[in-house]
Amino acid sequence: MSINNYILNLLNIKDENIYILTNNFQNKVIKGKNYKIIEGILTYNPDFCPKCGCINESHNDIIKWGFKRNCKVKIPKISNCYSLLILHKQRFYCKHCNNTFIAETILIDRNKNISNNTELQINLELMKKQSEKDISERLDVSVSKIDRKLNEISSHTVLRHPILPESMNWDEFKATKDTKGKMAFIITDNDKGNIFDINDSRKSKDLEKYFKRYSKQERDKVKHISTDFYSGYIYLAKKLFKNADISIDRFHIVIQAYNALNSTRVKLCYKTNPYYNKLKDYWKLIVKNENELSEEKKYSKHFKKEISQKEIVQFLINTDSTLKATYECYQGIINSLKDKDFNKFKSIVKHQNKNVSPKMKQALKLYDENIKYIENSFKYDINNGIIEGTNNLIKCLKRIAFGYRKYDHFIARIFLIKGIIKE
């Protein structure tokens, strides 16, 4: 292998028409960044004139006509340093049409200063959980370049599925300010374990229009729809999917009881309460499944003695009768779900303890109103991790990017990271 080809290989440059000037390597600081400057020449004998189409049969029809010098091309980092290729492009003169043209290369598209390798790297970086600013700094490209790339990707992120999943989960999330509705609507395919589609509105009229793109015959093939307690979803599912069993997603069942218990604890966290610090610092133990509490005794600064997690929780719930009743109700709910014991769950709802907090009473009332849909959730073995993972991804993206202004860009990032679209 020649020295030139060896260097091209190291730089991941596939165009053998580029000749690296080995004596011209430089290290420079440009705008506070360390750069490795590499100089090269692009030249070859063209097969034809792109202006008139003349075939260069004798290599005398088209002659070399100097260079277009100092074309700066951004290439991927070398040894963790920003890299810049100063490329001198051969200029050609066609004797037939008296026009000149410039040599072209697969390294970079015409009228661009960013190599195709860097363009590819941008796509790969967009598939990771990181902000656009981090990508721009890592690859030495502007944020606006990342923005344009997302514009390009988002232009074809409208998914056109010919068929609906047999088992779907419906949920929503707060997207961007330019979203059509306040909340975006997300569909996950429970069988494939990935996002099926995202719609920019969860309004009933918009969702009805969305699902009516599919024929009644196709909608009748849907066997199961899992959703939260939002009445609009349940109404729409009953109206458009006649053969589908509707269930309430177990995550949303648990979260109702979880919030009720935690709000009950928070109300007791006033500074005049002698147990204020204990209730505040040990909140994670209170909402934890009682069967997962450790019996191993460790020293506690609040109790000033060795004490187990089970003993801590037992002590705290005994400080207030409402907290204790709410705690026991919560534990009954999460364990009935874990054991897939609907009769136990139904018994808790129907024969509720009068001492539970008002928030828990609201949760139990909601359960009672949707009991037939909750019963279905005990029948279907749906992995909540699909939904939770997607929601966590959405929250993570919004956090690292400090929010998104453009809905299309936000959705494109979600689809890229989840592997639904590939660039």
Question: At residue 119, does pLDDT exceed 60?
Answer: yes
Question: At residue 168, does pLDDT exceed 80?
Answer: yes
Higher pLDDT, 261 or 172: 261
Read off the pLDDT band of 296 (50, 70, 90): very high
What is the structure's pLDDT at 153?
74
153 Cβ contact partners less than 8 Å away, ≥ 6 residues apart = 123, 126, 412, 416, 421, 423
DSSP, collapsed to helix, strand or coil, labels residue 255 as helix
Question: At residue 24, does pLDDT exceed 90?
Answer: no
Tokens of 406: 């453009």
Residue 296, exposed/middle/buried by CB under 10 A (0-12, 13-18, 19+)? exposed
Read off the pLDDT band of 151 (50, 70, 90): confident
Bridge partner list, 93: 63, 100
Task: Give, as one character, the DSSP assignment of residue 244.
Answer: P
What is the structure's pLDDT at 397?
74
Higher pLDDT, 21 or 156: 21
Read off the pLDDT band of 150 (50, 70, 90): confident
Question: Counting every residue, how long is the chain?
Answer: 423
What is the structure's pLDDT at 405?
67
Question: At residue 7, does pLDDT exceed 90?
Answer: no
What is the structure's pLDDT at 384?
59
- What number is the average pLDDT over the span 361-372? 96
Bridge partner list, 84: 37, 74
Give the best-scoring range by mean pLDDT among 109-113, 321-325, 393-397: 321-325
Q: Is-contact 413 183, C-beta < 8 A?
A: no
Nearest Cα neighbor of 245 from 346, 376, 368, 387 is 376
- Residue 331's CB is within 10 A of a number of other CB atoms, namely 20
Give the best-scoring range by mean pLDDT among 18-22, 139-143, 195-199, 304-308: 304-308
What is the structure's pLDDT at 387?
67
Q: Is-contact 18 87, C-beta < 8 A?
A: yes
Give the best-scoring range by mean pLDDT among 11-25, 37-51, 150-164, 186-200: 37-51
Bridge partner list, 105: 108
Question: At residue 342, does pLDDT exceed 80?
Answer: yes
Over the stretch 213-245, which tens digit does the pLDDT of each residue have?
A: 999 999 999 999 999 999 999 999 999 999 999
C-alpha–C-alpha distance, residues 413 and 135, integer Å: 13
C-alpha–C-alpha distance, residues 294 and 288, integer Å: 11
Read off the pLDDT band of 253 (50, 70, 90): very high
- What number is the average pLDDT over the span 67-72? 90
- What number is the average pLDDT over the span 119-132? 82
What is the structure's pLDDT at 89?
94
Tokens of 3: 């020295």
What is the structure's pLDDT at 273?
93
C-alpha–C-alpha distance, residues 17 and 23, integer Å: 18
How distant is the alpha carbon of residue 365 from its chain centre? Answer: 34
Q: How high does pLDDT run on average in the chain?
A: 88
